[in-house]
Amino acid sequence: MNKTSRQPAGQETKALAEEELIDFGFQEVARADKQDRVRAVFDSVAPSYDLMNDVMSLGVHRLWKEALIDWLAPQPGQKLVDLAGGTGDIALRFLRRGGGEVLVVDINEQMLQAGRKRRDLRRHADRISWQVGNAEKLAVETASADRVTIAFGLRNVTDRQAALGEAWRILKPGGRFCCLEFSHVSNAMLARLYDRWSFGILPRLGGVIARDRAAYQYLVESIRRFPSQAELAGMLAEAGFAQVRVRPLSGGIAAIHSGWKLD
């Protein structure tokens, strides 16, 4: 009689159910529902998103973004595709530092609308374009970008590995990908202070400034559920990136992950 490793029906059903769930902050939700939930969060916070970035990071996000641009080293004629680019913060910095043109892709139309209204981006209107799109399946030509970035957006993507694969696909050979994202604090004392700020204060500020405490509760929780620096570096390598590097920022509160497409 042949033996089989087939699981009992009950265990198979449980395993299938677990595969169909994904993190949404500290909640587990159906994989098919996460995208709509994330869209609803950013529909709500779009008008106050840039202000809340300053509040959430005490303005330090500006330094992190400049560090990202330092790694990108923009050159005239280079094209950047900025995924989850929202209100155009990375696009503006890339163009100011000498980059050629930018395509901002975001799944949320409200975020893009907020970006189009920015006065500091209007002078660059001829070099920036906006596209509603999903980072997991981009309507962008293969090997068409010199640089690809995603800043504070990868943790909101349902299938992060698919998004990294798409970033690799649209890069030209010799192109560079950089991800700036909140990370995990390494210092125990700093971690305690950071937790108090994140869980005790930020959602309240979100309730006052953005009038949506729940949205910022989700954003805080999503940071804690995001992969470690080593895990994310492994995901970049799996997507095909070479020379993967990680640069922790502010004691690990944030980090930049970088990889190159060599062929």
DSSP readout, the chain? -----PPPHHHHHHHHHHHTEEEETTEEEEHHHHHHHHHHHHHHHGGGHHHHHHHHHTTTHHHHHHHHHHHH---TT-EEEEET-TTSHHHHHHHHTT--EEEEEES-HHHHHHHHT-HHHHTTGGGEEEEE-BTTB--S-TT-EEEEEEES-GGG-S-HHHHHHHHHHHEEEEEEEEEEEE----SHHHHHHHHIIIIIIHHHHIIIIIS-HHHHHHHHHHHHHSPPHHHHHHHHHHHT-EEEEEEEEGGGTEEEEEEE---
- Residue 33: what pLDDT? 86
- Residue 195: what pLDDT? 84
State the pTM of this model: 0.85
- Residue 220: what pLDDT? 85
Q: Specify the CATH superfamily of domain 42-184+226-260.
A: Vaccinia Virus protein VP39 (3.40.50.150)
- pLDDT tens for 19-46 read 688 888 788 889 888 888 888 888 777 7
Low-confidence ranges of the chain (pLDDT < 70): 1-19
- pLDDT tens for 48-91 read 777 777 877 888 999 999 999 999 999 999 999 999 999 999 99
